[in-house]
Structure 1
Amino acid sequence: MSKYLVELKKSFRLSANPANSVGMKAYMLHQFDFYGIKTPERDKIVKSYISANPLHTIKELNGIIATMWAFKEREWQYAAIDVYKHHRILWQENAIDLIESCLISKSWWDTVDGIGSDWIPAYFSKYPNQIAPVTNRWNQSDNIWLQRSSILFQRSFKTRTDKALLKKYILFHKDAKDFFVQKAIGWALREYGKTNPEWVIDFVAKNKIAPLSKREAMKRIISKK
């Protein structure tokens, strides 16, 4: 294990709460182990650790993230998202390789959406030329988490949203049976509806999407009427 992670592992072990871990594991359908550290405490530990232990090379950063992602306790993946985001100044264009690796490894909505919030928008802001080729490949992938990420990557873009891409990626999966893809379609439309409700209303009226996607898309728009 990297020397960088030794003290962080000690902190996690000291803060472990077996009683909490039972509930956390059950909430995640028993797919992952947990130390049982609740989010506010974990955030405090990780934030303090990152501030006191800055990294200086992309090689070291990538190696540490890969190591953290391999640990069985889920807190390590959450911490890895924070560590990588904090060091985004070190990212290079090929950072997308690590991002994609983490999207498809130990995948569930928690880490996929965490990466979607903290890594993907930052990466595409730094390397906008990668948006079309990467997201198009994700959208046409057989992996549901890459599909979800392609549909949701613009959810914080607001007026910068590429409506053509959003429409294309949603319609490619409009008949998807997977819950997480259907939910992603509704979530993406709902978020853009905060900026351009007329476009979302028109899109939903003109295109047949799953009932779940439609409900999610129109939820906030309907509540404002």
Structure 2
Amino acid sequence: MLSMTNKVSTTRTADFQLVGDADDQQRLSHYTRSQFTFIGVRAPERRAQAHAMVRDSRQWPVSDVLAGIAELYERSEREYQYVAVDLAIANVQRFDIDDVRTLSHWVTVRPARDTVDLWRRFFGLYVQHHLDEKPIVFALFYKHDNVWMRRIAILLQLPEDYTLDADMLTAAIIYDRATPDPQIQKAIGWALRSYGKYDAAWVRGFLRSHGLSQIASTEAHKHLLDL
């Protein structure tokens, strides 16, 4: 497992620098209520500036990819955390379950919805490529002390349709259905709304059988009203 104390000089990402805009810096900082420091790079421009490095990372040894993710994630400016997850997503098919355990650590580092939902995408993609390992990945997040980790447990199967494990989704929702955190309640509604596109009857039955918050229920019903 990779040490979390990588020195900058040992990573392939060490010389990578984003170039931002002062106006976007203020806008992004305001959007996150000044929680984080920004360079001022919007998502399309960030991806453009990081494109060559992300592309080349597919040829790096996996250990170098993990080291690069760690180095970027430890930088103070928020956009580098986004680039770190971009690196992870670009290499998702190259990782094994031990790498996934290592990467799950970063979910709890300066967590907010922006980074957590990017990580959710990564873990969801990994599960899609390794359906037999879904229970192991789910266990990394289910019943975790950290509420952001549990948000991923609820949303882990979001990209799936008929491969979704309904028992797993049920367990994640039931565990947190009384948690007042709005990010959890919105995640519950989002997960049910998404699955309702493929199995509306199951979602309707779930909603009838389980008392959910107004936030979760409203979110879950959005798609069902169109069916």
TM-score, normalising length from structure 2? 0.90
| Equivalent pair of 1:55/1:87 in contact (CA under 8 Å) | no
Is 1:195 matched up with 2:162?
no
Find the counterpart in structure 2 of residue 43 from structure 1. Answer: 47
**DSSP-derived class of the 1:71 partner:** coil
Which of 23, 27, 34 is the matching residue for 2:27?
A: 23
The separation in 2 between residues aligned to 1:109 and 1:207, in whole angstroms, is: 26
The separation in 1 between residues aligned to 2:92 and 2:209, in whole angstroms, is: 40
The separation in 1 between residues aligned to 2:52 and 2:98, in whole angstroms, is: 28
How many equivalent pairs are there? 219
**DSSP-derived class of the 1:76 partner:** helix
The separation in 2 between residues aligned to 1:153 and 1:43, in whole angstroms, is: 24
The separation in 2 between residues aligned to 1:121 and 1:185, in whole angstroms, is: 16
Once the two structures are overlaid, the 10-residue window that deviates more, 88-97 or 211-220, is 88-97
Q: Provide closer, same or farther for how the CA distance between residues 190 and 89 of structure 1 changes in structure 2, counting only shifts above 3 A.
A: closer
CA RMSD of aligned residues (A): 1.7
The separation in 2 between residues aligned to 1:156 and 1:139, in whole angstroms, is: 18
Is 1:170 matched up with 2:178?
no
| Equivalent pair of 1:33/1:73 in contact (CA under 8 Å) | yes
Find the counterpart in structure 1 of residue 107 from structure 2. Answer: 103
Instruction: Report the alpha carbon displacement of residue 54 of structure 1 after superposing the two structures with TM.
Output: 4.7
Find the counterpart in structure 1 of residue 146 from structure 2. Answer: 143
Q: Provide closer, same or farther for how the CA distance between residues 52 and 169 of structure 1 changes in structure 2, counting only shifts above 3 A.
A: closer
Find the counterpart in structure 2 of residue 65 from structure 1. Answer: 69
Which of 183, 186, 190 is the matching residue for 1:183?
A: 186
Find the counterpart in structure 2 of residue 8 from structure 1. Answer: 16
TM-score, normalising length from structure 1? 0.90
Residue identity matched to 1:136: A
Residue identity matched to 1:107: P
| Equivalent pair of 2:120/2:156 in contact (CA under 8 Å) | yes
The separation in 2 between residues aligned to 1:32 and 1:5, in whole angstroms, is: 21
Residue identity matched to 2:38: F
Instruction: Report the alpha carbon displacement of residue 165 of structure 1 after superposing the two structures with TM.
Output: 0.9
| Equivalent pair of 2:57/2:91 in contact (CA under 8 Å) | no
**DSSP-derived class of the 2:76 partner:** coil
Identity of aligned residues (%): 24
Is 1:159 matched up with 2:162?
yes
| Equivalent pair of 1:57/1:90 in contact (CA under 8 Å) | no
**DSSP-derived class of the 1:209 partner:** coil
Residue identity matched to 1:185: I
| Equivalent pair of 2:116/2:148 in contact (CA under 8 Å) | yes
Is 1:90 matched up with 2:94?
yes
More helix by share: 1
Is 1:112 matched up with 2:116?
yes
